[in-house]
Amino acid sequence: MAVKLAIVGLGKIAQDQHLPAIAASDDFELVCGATLQGECPTGRTYRDVATMLAGEPGIEAVAMCQPPQARFAAARDALLAGKHVLLEKPPGATLSEVALLCDLAAERNLTLFAAWHSREAPAVEPARAWLAGKRILSAQIIWREDVRVWHPGQRWIWQAGGLGVFDPGINALSIATHILPPFLLTGGTLSYPSNQQSPIAADLAFVMADGAPLTADLDFRQTGPQTWDIRIETDQGRLVLSKGGAEMTVDGVAQPLPPEAEYRGLYVRFASLIAAGAQDVDRAPLRHVADAFLRAERIEVEAFHDEPAVPAMA
């Protein structure tokens, strides 16, 4: 029996990834959606979560795809209504939100799943397997993309709690925390446009538990070729994950990988967590982001305007 599912927030990530993955899944049946803009493909669209929860008692699970600043209240209401919850990344706007949702889900024996889609990328499990038993000498995260291309008009990303360049950068951290030993921030800088509340770039230095260095170069200002790489030097060769984990080389040689299925993988995992009555909420990627805000230096950089300036009327 497919789990009756509702989706909240029919923005870019829902349209591009969640709806196709749900449509392809035998485990879930999409019933309805709540969203400020747009329509649910089932034709049952609500403008707020409380009205949807009251009007659709049959739904069993809810996927939360709205901006992170609004995620907690909706997830709390869904858990209080007895629904299982999938949280898009990041799982909350603060760590305390995530802690409270975990407590609430555990008390009610509901599944709470903090989805880190990049961990489902084709190269991630092969990379983890390849690294087992090797000594890591150093690692670099290089995550440079053009925010105008990938986040057009997403004003929430620049607002406090929107995370700025960490919105994509947390994907890299979700992979790194999965395949590398534990690591700690030792210093770095966050670059804030003079007119925005969230950083447009971050340059961070970490140390892994055994002393090897890890650096992260996150930048939203990249034009031309885009880079989403994690490069790892070991005592037995060099591993490179590129295109966000879609490709992998060892000493420059491309490795065979399974086909891309990130969001399908998330819904397979959500279904199996529900079936098992289990939770999966790894806070480490968001904790590293919080640590960067807590510990790194702030630098002010050039103002960023999402749209080209409109000439003033004479």
Q: Is 291 in the site for a copy of itself (CB under 8 A)?
A: yes
- The binding track of 235-274 with respect to a copy of itself, each residue x by CB under 8 A or -, is ----------------------------------------
Q: Is 161 in the site for a copy of itself (CB under 8 A)?
A: yes
- Distance between CA atoms of residues 198 and 313, nearest Å: 31
Asked if 89 is an active-site residue, the reply is yes
**The two three-digit tokens of residue 63, written as one number:** 């996927």
Q: Is 119 in the site for a copy of itself (CB under 8 A)?
A: no
Q: Is 160 in the site for a copy of itself (CB under 8 A)?
A: yes
Q: Is 182 in the site for a copy of itself (CB under 8 A)?
A: yes
Q: Is 42 in the site for a copy of itself (CB under 8 A)?
A: no
Q: Is 49 in the site for a copy of itself (CB under 8 A)?
A: no
Q: Is 113 in the site for a copy of itself (CB under 8 A)?
A: no
Residue 136: C-alpha distances to residues 63, 93, 208 (Å):
37, 32, 9
- Distance between CA atoms of residues 89 and 169, nearest Å: 11
- Minimum distance, C-beta of residue 94 to a copy of itself, in the bound complex (Å): 4
Q: Is 97 in the site for a copy of itself (CB under 8 A)?
A: yes
Q: Exposure pattern of 36-66 as b/e (b: 16+ CB <10 Å)?
A: eeeebeeebebeebeebbeebeebbbbbbbb
Structure-token match 């260095």, residue found: 213
Q: Which residue among 4, 89, 134, 243 is the active-site one? A: 89
- Minimum distance, C-beta of residue 116 to a copy of itself, in the bound complex (Å): 17
13's CB contacts (< 8 A; 6+ apart) are 65, 88
Q: Is the dihedral of CA 289, 293, 297, 299 positive or negative?
A: positive
Residue 192: C-alpha distances to residues 114, 137, 189, 238 (Å):
28, 31, 10, 33
**Residue with Cβ nearer a copy of itself (130 or 220):** 220
Which residues are known catalytic residues?
Answer: 89
Could you list the residues that contact a copy of itself (CB under 8 A)? Answer: 72, 93-97, 99-100, 103, 160-161, 163, 182-185, 187, 192, 197, 209, 284, 287-291, 293-298
